[in-house]
Amino acid sequence: MIRRTFRILNGVGPYTERRIRREGISSWDDFLARGGVKFTSARRNELWTEELARWRTALERRNERFFREKLPRSEHWRLFDAFCDDVACLDIETTGQAPPYDETTVVGVYRPGRGLSQLVAGRDLSGDAIDAALEGVKLLVTFFGANFDVPFLKREFSYLQLELPHYDICFAAKRLGVTGGLKKVEKKFGIARDGDVDGLDGYDAVKLWQAHCRGRRGALELLLRYNAADTKNLVPLAAIIYQRLCARENDLGA
């Protein structure tokens, strides 16, 4: 979808984008092959051509920093297909205390094709370990992570960067009129969980950590299964919402 948007161009909004498409131009390649559109000046076509060439080069070079800096955060979902081979889904659990006493207990990072990494407080959780789990990632996928997970980790691990394009499913789903927490949105789109973690929520995760700290057998293992579901389910959910956003834009002629 990123290759099909022209709203990255200076002066192009939804109306002008539709005018571009009405000339039979549906992608950056089409625009560059034509050398522009008929309804604007030669100078404007020249500027747009140069700009699109820069964006296409950045995409070919898989330059995630370019897109993080140039593409509005609300549009990062458009990168899901282009960077699908280097996506990382991230979800954290915490002690649930009031700031500034709240701390991270588990960090889950799922990378399709590479598997799940789970870092646990007191065992192997550190900023360096998080960096290592995210090495080579081009697109971060979370649910409400832009407002919670990422700021939380940056506060606790002050040297952690996490400067990546960020597809936050929570806000992308709202563009489709779908609201609520992760479990509610999963059910809306028919994504199921295993029975032992189905029905658990963030408060249960806090209680499981407390039980683990008291020495209760099996508490940590159940917490990790819960975190694994939170993290892995982001992949099909991100794909469904991406496809529906693309379909909506196509229906709108965008």
Q: What is the pLDDT of residue 161?
A: 84
Q: What is the pLDDT of residue 122?
A: 96
47 burial via Cβ count (<10 Å: 0-12, 13-18, 19+): middle
102 in Cβ contact with 95 (< 8 Å)? yes
Q: What is the pLDDT of residue 101?
A: 87
* Nearest-angstrom CA–CA distance, 158 and 182: 27
Q: What is the pLDDT of residue 252?
A: 60
Give the strand pairing for 115-120 and 104-111: antiparallel
List, for residues 206-225, the tens digit of each pLDDT value.
999 999 999 999 999 999 99
Grouping H, G, I as helix, E, B as strand and the rest as coil, residue 156 is: helix
Q: What class is the 84-243 domain?
A: alpha beta
List, for residues 162-175, the tens digit of each pLDDT value.
999 999 999 999 99
Q: Do the two domains 2-61 and 84-243 of this chain adopt the same fold?
A: no
pTM of this structure: 0.94
* Nearest-angstrom CA–CA distance, 108 and 91: 5
Q: What is the largest CA-CA distance in the chain?
A: 72
Q: What is the pLDDT of residue 96?
A: 95
Q: What is the pLDDT of residue 223?
A: 98
Q: What is the pLDDT of residue 100?
A: 84
Q: What is the pLDDT of residue 250?
A: 78
Would you list the domain boundaries of the chain? 2-61, 84-243
Average pLDDT across each block of 10 residues of the chain; the chain has 254 residues. List them in order: 94 94 95 96 97 97 97 95 97 92 96 97 97 97 97 93 95 97 96 94 97 98 98 98 92 58
Q: What is the pLDDT of residue 253?
A: 55
Q: What is the pLDDT of residue 243?
A: 97
Pick the CATH number of 2-61 from 1.20.120, 1.10.8, 1.10.3720, 1.10.150: 1.10.150
Please give the DSSP secondary-structure letter assigned to residue 76: G
110 burial via Cβ count (<10 Å: 0-12, 13-18, 19+): buried
* Structure token pair of residue 191: 């994504």
Q: What is the pLDDT of residue 202?
A: 95
H or E stretch at 68: helix 64-70
Q: What is the pLDDT of residue 197?
A: 97
